Amino acid sequence: MTEHHDHDGHHHHPQERSAAELRADALEALLAEKGLVSAEAIDAVVSYYENDVGPQNGARVVARAWADPEYRERLLADGTAAVKEMGFTGFELNTLVAVENTPGVHNVVVCTLCSCYPWPLLGLPPTWYKSAPYRARVVAEPRAVLEEFGLELADDIELRVWDSTAEVRYLVVPARPEGTDGWSEEELARLVPRDAMVGTGLAHAPDTVGSGEPF
């Protein structure tokens, strides 16, 4: 957020607004004038994606798959049903396929056509995921892109790039870090950052995570 903006959307001096912002505000005003869209409904949707859905959901799924071998099997066999079991449904989650990282395999997800992403599990995608550089490059030079994220894969690791071209959404199940035997699902979930579930990162090592807010 830029600092000079307040958040209620109605009290900006015109000079502060970019052309895009002014046009967005104009469309909002027009639909309000027609009685079709309330500012409160817009606030509710923004709040839903800021507070109710986000990577904390996907992290719970991953943690459960790590802790519960039967759940892991269900998740890999039918991702849609397995996440529905945990209450995760919604737009951009028609069909979910979970792909698992193993010692010999690393998975990474992209949408080269636009920005497909499993919103109910990961929230709205980060800017880099929607950017032209990521969309263009991760299919054509994936190791170079992963290196930008600080992830260097050995040459003999099989790298799989999943391009979400249809209505299937992907969740990467990262490898469980060593030294986490006996951890609860709640503790394990703290080790799973968003990027690990897209494949541009790994799960955190246990000694790097404190007891505070995981995200």
Partner 1 sequence: MGGMHGFGAVVLPGGELPYHERWEPRVFALWAISEVEGLGAGSGRALRERMPPDEYLRASYYERWLWSNEQRLLAKGTVSPGEIDAWVARLEADEQPPAAKRPDQGARVVDALRSGTGELAPAGETAFRVGDAVRVKRMHPAGHTRCPRYVRGARGTVGAVRGTYPLPDAGPRHRELEPVYSVSFSSEDVFGAVDEPPWTLHLDLYEHYLEAA
Site for partner 1 in 13-32 (CB under 8 A): 14, 17-18, 20-32
Residue 18: active-site member:
no
**173 forms part of the interface with partner 1 (CB under 8 A):** no
* Window 60-119: residues binding partner 1 (CB under 8 A): 80, 89-95, 97, 110, 112-115
- 205 near partner 1, judged by CB under 8 A: no
Candidates 111, 131, 164, 211; catalytic one:
111
Nearest C-alpha neighbor of 118 from the set 54, 203, 45 = 54
Are 188 and 63 a contacting pair, CB within 8 Å? yes
Asked if 160 touches partner 1 (CB under 8 A), the answer is yes
Task: Show the binding pattern over residues 108-147: x = contacts partner 1 (CB under 8 A), - = does not.
Answer: --x-xxxx----x--xxxxxx-xxxxxxxxxxxxxxxx--
The verdict on whether 211 is a catalytic residue reads: no
Cα 87 to Cα 215: distance, rounded to the nearest angstrom: 21
Look up 131 and say whether it is catalytic: no
7 binds partner 1 (CB under 8 A): yes
Residues serving a catalytic function are: 111, 114-116
